[in-house]
């Protein structure tokens, strides 16, 4: 019983220590005039995607991602110059504990014109969960398309061979994460899609 109470107290204190994002009365994130950088932090992927759509429409673009001490992820964004009425950058946040699922989701988003931002790969651990999180971006007016392959191995010699094999298929390593095994994300540009 004492152990259960201690665990519940720890959970409550962790939740209470998570800072709330400043928002105005409409629920939009507050951005000061002349503000060039913005940090977004959340546990929920759907919330992060909505917030990215909001700030992306106001001229911000993702630079980096990092895990936080509160089991969520944080993104650093910068303001970019946009012409009035220009299409904003769009984002897709992917999160899963399974490598095969991540590869499938990467390729589904890539077919829609999204490209992985290599500096956004985060291995996010919670009390009972652990998942890989990646952010993909679709640039305004882009008609490029990509394909992704996750190369995995626990031994480095096997990893070297697998990276070389992916290279013979046109894939280039763009980032890596270690989650019990080495996971190298490889990418290749595919044929441009018309009408995007």
Judged on CB neighbours under 10 Å (0-12, 13-18, 19+), 84 is exposed
Local confidence band at 71 (pLDDT 50, 70, 90 cut-offs):
low
pLDDT at 21: 52
Residues 6+ apart with CB under 8 A from 141: 87
- The full 3-state SS of the chain, as one line of letters, equals CHHHHHHHHHHHHHHHCCCCCCECCCCCECCCCCCCEEEEEECCHHHHHHHHHHHHHCCEEEEEEEECCCCCEEEEEEECCCCCCCCCCEEEEEEECCHHHHHHHHHHHHHCCCEECHHHCEEEECCCCEEEEEEEEECCCCCCEEEEEEEEECCHHHHHHHHHHHHHCCCEEEEEEECCCEEEEEEEEECCCCCC
Mean pLDDT across the chain: 81
Q: Of 27-31, 33-37, 86-90, which has the strongest mean pLDDT?
A: 33-37
Enclosing H/E stretch for 78: strand 73-79
- pLDDT surpasses 60 at 20: no
pTM for the predicted model, two decimal places? 0.78
pLDDT at 16: 39
């Amino acid at each position: 019983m004492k152990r259960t109470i201690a665990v519940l107290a720890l959970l409550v204190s962790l939740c209470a220590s998570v800072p709330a994002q400043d928002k105005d009365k409409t629920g939009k994130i507050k951005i000061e005039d002349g503000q060039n950088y913005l940090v977004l932090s959340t546990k929920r992927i759907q919330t992060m995607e909505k917030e990215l759509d909001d700030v992306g429409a106001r001229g911000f673009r993702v630079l980096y991602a990092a895990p936080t001490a509160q089991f969520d992820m944080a993104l650093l964004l910068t303001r970019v110059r946009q012409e009035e009425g220009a299409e904003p950058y769009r984002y897709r946040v992917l999160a899963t504990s399974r490598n095969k699922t991540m590869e499938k989701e990467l390729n589904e988003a890539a077919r829609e014109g999204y490209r992985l931002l290599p500096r956004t790969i985060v291995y996010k651990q919670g009390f009972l969960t652990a998942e890989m999180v990646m952010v993909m971006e679709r640039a305004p007016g882009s008609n490029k398309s990509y394909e992704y392959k996750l190369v995995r191995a626990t031994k480095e010699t096997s990893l070297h061979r697998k990276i070389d094999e992916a290279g013979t298929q046109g894939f280039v390593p763009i980032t890596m994460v270690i989650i019990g095994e080495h996971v190298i994300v490889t990418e290749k540009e595919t044929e441009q899609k018309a009408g995007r």
